[in-house]
């Protein structure tokens, strides 16, 4: 069985983390799949998907680490060519990656108690994102 | 065909890398799937899954890089709120990610000769981890 | 339905990014799958798979960020043991990860307009890489 769904998400730009738990949980339940996987993917090259404990401290700490890893104000070649100032966004998104997959067991998504699937907005402006969910299994 | 299995793993805390090769290989062989994928996922927000050459040098080098990326002793907001001192663990786990998927071809897992799937323990204490394996294919 | 394919790719060593879009797109179209996923995996522990906007600026910026994250000339334990000088390659590949999965919708791969699946060569010499594609769905 394969089931797909698309979620539209509004973000507030760099460092915004969007909790996708309820959307993913509801979608998987609606498919009737008891054992399998649910793939979570964001279209675009300046956002990423991972899991995190969704609490206010880490909503600051994770973007802070990304700022140290790839500072906003470096001289990116991307910025010189395109003038959009979001070279930092691209390299951050590429190292985190655009997708994760979560298991489905006994009819529900498997996640740790403090482990939430999130969209990580890396771009330097508000964006509308489409997140693609694909559940497969039996 | 969908087959699932759960592995319980004991870790020694920060920087412990657990080689999952034999568990994954044995599981995939037991499923009888000849072509498909095997998903490897860790529950929890302070551990991660990746592949690495499992040899003593890199078992030091990879944690050392993580310490530079997200030092243990920074002032994490997470630590101020929760007092568990593992803010570094969360941000490290989120950038590596909680899962990988490996191909199944001709009845066996596809991996490079020096490429082992590993659990990366990022927490600041020993943990018991559950790793979820899901093989799909035909 | 499960379909597999293997792509052979020649790389020029550290920092070479290989655009896999046409290979992935053509493969998925050939499978006839309308809804599902396509898994993209590189065998070996010194290369990685992610997505990026494939333009000349970022082809410099992404390797530059990796050099800051894990400098080539650090004293890696891996290098002391094995003498191949590619400790930096291993730790970079492990943090990016060896695979991504992309959705298949309405018979085609789902990607942002400026989002290309790429192989990231991290090794310090030219390599021949095998990339494993696995499409599943219906």
How many other C-beta atoms are found inside a 10 Å radius of the C-beta of residue A51? 29
Minimal-distance CA residue of chain A relative to C109: A43
Instruction: Give the per-residue pLDDT at B70.
Output: 98
Any C CB within 8 A of B106 CB? no
> How does DSSP assign chain C, residue by residue?
-EEEEEEEEEE-STT-EEE-HHHHHHHHHHHT--SEEEEEEE-SSSEEEEEE--SHHHHHHHHHHHHHHS-TTS--HHHHHH-SS-HHHHHHHHHH-SEEEEEEETTEE---TT-EEEEEE-SSS-EEEEEEEEEEE-
For the residues of C90-121, what is the DSSP string, one character each? HHHHHHH-SEEEEEEETTEE---TT-EEEEEE
Q: Of chain B residues 7-36, which have a CB less than 8 A from chain C?
A: 35-36
Helix (H) or strand (E) run with residue A93 in it: helix A87-96
Confidence class of residue C66 from pLDDT cuts 50, 70 and 90?
Answer: very high
ipTM of the complex: 0.98
List chain B pLDDT tens, one digit each, 138 residues: 999 999 999 999 999 999 999 999 999 999 999 999 999 999 999 999 999 999 999 999 999 999 999 999 999 999 999 999 999 999 999 999 999 999 999 999 999 999 999 999 999 999 999 999 999 999
Which residues sit opposite B7 in a β-bridge?
B131
Taking the C-alpha atoms of residue A18 and residue B24, their distance in angstroms, rounded to an integer, is 32
**Percent of chain A whose pLDDT exceeds 90:** 100
User: CB B57 to CB C80 under 8 A?
Assistant: yes
State mean pLDDT over C85-112: 98
Rounded-to-integer distance, Cα A24 and Cα A133, Å: 7
pLDDT at A117: 98
State the pTM of this model.
0.98
Q: What local confidence, expressed as pLDDT, does residue A21 receive? A: 98
Q: What is the pLDDT of residue A91?
A: 98
Whether residue B138 and residue C2 make contact (CB cut-off 8 A), yes or no, is yes
Secondary structure element (H or E) that encloses residue B48, with its range:
strand B47-52
Q: Which residue has the tokens 């898994």?
A: C39
Task: Mark yes or no for CB contact A103/B78 under 8 Å.
Answer: no
Query: Which pLDDT value is given to residue B31?
Result: 98
> How far is C-alpha C82 from the geometric centre of its chain's CA atoms?
25
The SS3 of residue A60 is helix
Whole-angstrom Cα distance, residue B92 to residue B66? 7
The per-residue pLDDT for C79 is 98
Closest CA in chain C for residue A101? C101
Q: Which of A22, A33, A6, A27 is nearest to A136 (CA)?
A: A33
* CA-based nearest residue in chain B for residue A100: B99
Instruction: Give A114 to chain B, closest Cα distance, Å.
Output: 6
Q: Distance, in angstroms, between C61 CA and closest chain B CA? A: 18
Rounded Cα–Cα distance for residues B137 and B3 (Å) = 9
How many Cβ pairs closer than 8 A exist between chain B and C?
102
What is the crossing angle of helices B56-69 and A56-69, to 10°?
110
- pLDDT given for residue B43 in this prediction: 98
| Residue C2: predicted pLDDT | 97
Please give the structure tokens belonging to residue B97. Answer: 């990610």
Provide the CA C88 distance to its chain's centre, in angstroms. Answer: 17
Q: Give residue C118's pLDDT.
A: 98
User: What pLDDT does C85 receive?
Assistant: 97
Write the pLDDT tens digit of every residue in C18-36: 999 999 999 999 999 999 9
Domain enclosing residue B111, as ranges: 2-137
Neighbours of chain C (3+ CB pairs under 8 A): A, B
pLDDT band at residue A79 under the 50/70/90 scheme: very high
A61 Cβ under 8 Å from any chain B Cβ: yes
Q: Does B62 touch chain C (CB under 8 A)?
A: yes
Domain count, chain B: 1
Parallel, antiparallel or unpaired: strands B99-105 and A116-121: unpaired
The verdict on a CB contact (< 8 Å) between A79 and C57 is: yes
pLDDT recorded at residue B84? 94
pLDDT tens digits for A4-39?
999 999 999 999 999 999 999 999 999 999 999 999
- CATH code of B71's domain: 2.60.120.460
Q: Which of B1, B4, B87 comes nearest A57 by C-beta? A: B87
- Chain A residue numbers with beta carbons less than 8 Å from the beta carbon of B66 are none
Nearest to B137 among C2, C76, C94 (CB): C2
DSSP 3-state of B25: helix
Q: Does C134 touch chain A (CB under 8 A)?
A: no
């Amino acid at each position: 069985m394969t089931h797909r769904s698309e979620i539209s998400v509004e973000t507030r730009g760099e460092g915004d983390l969007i909790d996708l738990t309820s959307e993913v949980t509801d979608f998987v339940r609606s498919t009737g799949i008891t054992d399998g996987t649910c793939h979570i993917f964001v279209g675009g090259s300046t956002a990423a998907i991972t899991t995190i404990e969704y609490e206010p401290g880490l909503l600051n700490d994770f973007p802070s680490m990304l700022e140290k890893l790839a500072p906003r104000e470096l001289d990116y070649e991307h910025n010189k060519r395109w003038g959009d100032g979001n070279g930092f966004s691209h390299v951050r998104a590429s190292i985190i990656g655009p997708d994760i997959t979560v298991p489905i067991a006994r009819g529900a998504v498997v996640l740790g108690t403090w482990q939430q699937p999130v969209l990580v907005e890396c771009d330097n402006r508000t964006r509308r994102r489409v997140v693609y969910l694909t559940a497969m299994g039996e």
